[in-house]
Structure 1
Amino acid sequence: MAVWWVALFGAGMALVVATKIAFIGWGIGIPSIDFAGISGHAMRAAAVLPVIAYLALQGGRRSVKIIGVSAGVGLGILIAVSRVLVDAHSLSEAVSGFLLGTLIGVIFISLARPLHKPSVNGWLVMVTLVSLFWVSSGEPAPTQQMLTEMALALSGHDRPFTRADWIATGQLLPKPVTLIR
């Protein structure tokens, strides 16, 4: 199961990174739907949360597993929506991230279902997750900076491509200014 998870999740993250580097380095995206790269937050949430629920609830009834996995999907939706609400991503980027993550989770659960079920202590999983969030420094990793540096190194350009470039060429309309947020 671990090999399948690493392969699926790794492929999903590689796709996220590839789309972001393509946009930052070369301006490859879809301006008509304001797509500049798959949302990594939405992809990770939609992939990880249902799978955690599935694994943590291995000893439970089928109905409990379905509720847990559905709750994980629901949280994934909330995280995807939050990315749009805080203007971190466009709707197309958040939706593509959510759909990719959901696909990864569904494939993993489908592959894991017929396999021998490991003994998973649900409480240990929850304590581990809480401790991971608790010991976090609160400082976000500089992933956007690393992606930008990689994109510039690969493309040979001296500055990153941005949505402002699409706006300047008329490919994307600027977002309207709102007084209420």
Structure 2
Amino acid sequence: MLLWKALTALGGVTVTGPLGVAVAVWLLAGRSWRLSLNWMLLFCGGMALVVITKLLWYGWGIGIQAWHFSGLSGHAMRATAVYPVVFFLAFRNARPGYRTLGLAAGVLLAFLISYSRLPVRAHSVSEVVLGGAVGYAVAAAFILGVRGERPAIVTDLLLALCIPLVIIMPLTKPAPAERWIKQIAMYLTGKDPIERAWKQRPDGEPASQADVEPDQQPDAQPEVRQAPVQVRGPI
């Protein structure tokens, strides 16, 4: 379990968010304005999809009941979007074989981070799979757009920006992103957020707080609604 918690920390918004910004800064420093803009549009677009799908569930109970889907996994989306791109750019000037290995390492790390959301009971399989699919699509779209264009700056700058973030940020307190989304849903609907019924254990007892990611553990949440069958249709 410690391994999965360590991996899941690498997908937190306090890690992947700054990594996404670091990629944009590196591209700007290399005078690759178009690539930097493309990256930010793709990455921010992916994060917007995560927020929208979660708002639809917490506010109105809109999801896919048969799949236990109540919103894209933000960890999975961000990890699969950021890490393949970081590794791809870090090995951009290496030999073709090393470039392939570097990209494969980023893809594999992103997969493990996404999968870690299942053992810690933060998401259902569908939420992880769909979140990861969106993130990989973001990474693929960016990488395909990079072909033929090389930023005019050494790879060392990217590593200098990213390595401290990966080492230090997982040790900091996670941002309460899930709680913020719930508060937005409450503001929009004027009602308590709908919780995810799949997180009930087989014996009917709710999952313990230890099974939930730190940024999903509320400080003092209002009583929440549960909607095991209140799904209005697919997203």
The root-mean-square deviation of aligned C-alpha atoms, in Å, is 2.0
TM-score where L is the length of structure 1: 0.86
Alpha-carbon distance in structure 2 between the residues aligned to 1:20 and 1:143: 11
Q: Which runs of 4+ in 1 moved over 4 A?
A: none
Alpha-carbon distance in structure 2 between the residues aligned to 1:134 and 1:100: 26
Residue 95 (structure 1) aligned with residue 121 (structure 2): no
Is contact 1:56–1:121 with CA below 8 Å preserved after alignment? no
Counterpart of 2:176 in structure 1 is 142
Residue 125 (structure 1) aligned with residue 151 (structure 2): no
Alignment deviations for residues 135-179 of structure 1 (CA, whole Å, 9 cap, x no partner):
43611111111101111111222x110123xxxxxxx694425xx
Cα gap change, 1:174 to 1:135, in 2 (>3 Å) = closer
Alpha-carbon distance in structure 2 between the residues aligned to 1:65 and 1:20: 36
Of the three residues 27, 31, 54, the one matched with 1:20 is: 54
Deviation at 1:110, TM superposition (A): 0.5
Structure 1 gaps of 5+ residues are 165-171
Residue 30 (structure 1) aligned with residue 64 (structure 2): yes
Residue 45 (structure 1) aligned with residue 45 (structure 2): no
| Matched length | 170
Alpha-carbon distance in structure 1 between the residues aligned to 2:156 and 2:146: 21
Structure 2 gaps of 5+ residues are 1-34, 204-210, 212-235
The one-letter code of the counterpart of 1:80 is S
Alignment deviations for residues 31-87 of structure 1 (CA, whole Å, 9 cap, x no partner):
111111000101111011110111111111122111111111101110111001100
Counterpart of 1:161 in structure 2 is 194
Alpha-carbon distance in structure 2 between the residues aligned to 1:5 and 1:174: 38
SS of residue in 2 equivalent to 1:3: helix
Residue 3 (structure 1) aligned with residue 29 (structure 2): no
Alpha-carbon distance in structure 2 between the residues aligned to 1:91 and 1:73: 18
Alpha-carbon distance in structure 2 between the residues aligned to 1:72 and 1:40: 17
The one-letter code of the counterpart of 1:102 is Y
Residue 71 (structure 1) aligned with residue 105 (structure 2): yes
